[in-house]
Amino acid sequence: MNNNNKNFSKVQLFQFLITFFVTVFGVLTAYYTTIAGIKLDLAHKAEVQIVNELDKRLSNLELLLKENFMTKKEFFELKDQINQRLLKIEMKIERNDR
């Protein structure tokens, strides 16, 4: 009967160890799954925030470009005006030299 008790206690110890390790494995899996989920959520929020910030910067840049730079048409009009003024200056200089 003593031998039967030893076998029984070994079986119980083995069952306990298996149950313990399965439980520990389950707890660790749940912990790391939760941490991974939190990381994904934070990464998504950071990504959205970065995209929104870049969108704001692009909008500001577009506004600055519209306010501070001229169109191609305006540039050519300015060039023509400067050319006309330079021609007038040349004509005046030629008249004064005669």
Residue 25, CB half-sphere, CA atoms under 13 Å: how many?
6
In the chain, % of residues over pLDDT 70: 91
Q: Which two tokens stand for residue 90?
A: 């040349």
Residue 8's pLDDT is: 65
Between the alpha carbon of residue 85 and those of residues 72, 73, 81, 82, 91, the distances in Å are: 20, 19, 6, 5, 10
> Which of helix, strand or coil describes residue 71?
coil
Give the tens place of pLDDT for each residue, 38-62: 888 888 888 888 888 888 888 888 8
Q: Which two tokens stand for residue 52?
A: 């929104």
Measured over the CA atoms of residue 87, residue 88, residue 89 and residue 95, the dihedral's sign is positive
Residue 7's pLDDT is: 65
State pTM to two decimals.
Answer: 0.42
